[in-house]
Amino acid sequence: MEKKRVQLIIRGKVQGVFFRASTKDKANELRLTGFVMNRGDGTVEVVAEGDEDQLHKLVDWCREGPDLSHVKDVQLDWQTYIAQFEEFTIN
């Protein structure tokens, strides 16, 4: 199975709604590494690495988000896997 890396910028009502904690839980469930963080412009950034199939599942999940969120847009940037992370963290 091919390993990849993806960066997501998630727009909408995504800060203060447990988006980061829920994303970390989902990434851990999918055995992905990387991070999730709130950005100053109100978006959430996710960078994740792992099996491509699992990354697609995380992307699909991020398009919905946790119950209290309202995702308007997800910008994707697929990148080369570089094994940068040992775990998935909230930054």
The residues that are catalytic are 20, 38
- Three-state SS for 38-74 is ECCCCCEEEEEEEEHHHHHHHHHHHHHCCCCCEEEEE
Q: What span, in angstroms and rounded, lies between the C-alpha atoms of 4 and 76?
A: 13
Q: What span, in angstroms and rounded, lies between the C-alpha atoms of 20 and 44?
A: 8
Q: What span, in angstroms and rounded, lies between the C-alpha atoms of 37 and 72?
A: 17
